[in-house]
């Protein structure tokens, strides 16, 4: 086995943690979710494969179909479809 530099490994690890394409949702796609909590700003919080999606005009327990409007690195925004 050959020598692998620490810098190369660190670069790969940073890529894995910072890669936006790892989000399990896509903008424009629809998902069936249950609102689990309410954020400080009042938006409902749903999760798709553990990934947080903020959904305005919802309350805890709502079972809704959402359309994702914007995807960030650690969370997304959606609206009731």
At 22-74, the pLDDT tens digits run 799 999 999 999 999 999 999 999 999 999 999 999 999 999 999 999 999 89
- Pick the closest to residue 78 from 16, 19, 21, 39 (CA basis): 39
Domain boundaries, the chain: 6-80
pTM exceeds 0.85 for this model: no
Right CATH for 6-80 from 3.30.1330.10, 3.30.429.10, 2.40.50.140, 3.40.50.1970: 2.40.50.140
Report the alpha-carbon distance of residue 75 to residue 52 in Å, rounded.
Answer: 5
Rg of the chain on CA atoms, in Å: 17
* Cα–Cα distance, 67 to 28 (Å, whole number): 6
**Model confidence pLDDT, tens digit, residues 38-51:** 999 999 999 999 99
């Amino acid at each position: 086995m050959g020598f692998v530099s620490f810098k190369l490994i660190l670069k790969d690890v940073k890529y894995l943690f910072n890669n936006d394409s790892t989000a399990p949702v896509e903008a424009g796609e629809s998902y069936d979710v249950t609102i689990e909590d309410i954020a400080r700003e009042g938006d409902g919080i749903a999760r798709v494969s553990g990934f947080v999606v903020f959904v305005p005009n919802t309350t805890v327990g709502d079972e809704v179909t959402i359309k994702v409007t914007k995807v960030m690195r650690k969370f997304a925004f959606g609206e009731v479809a």
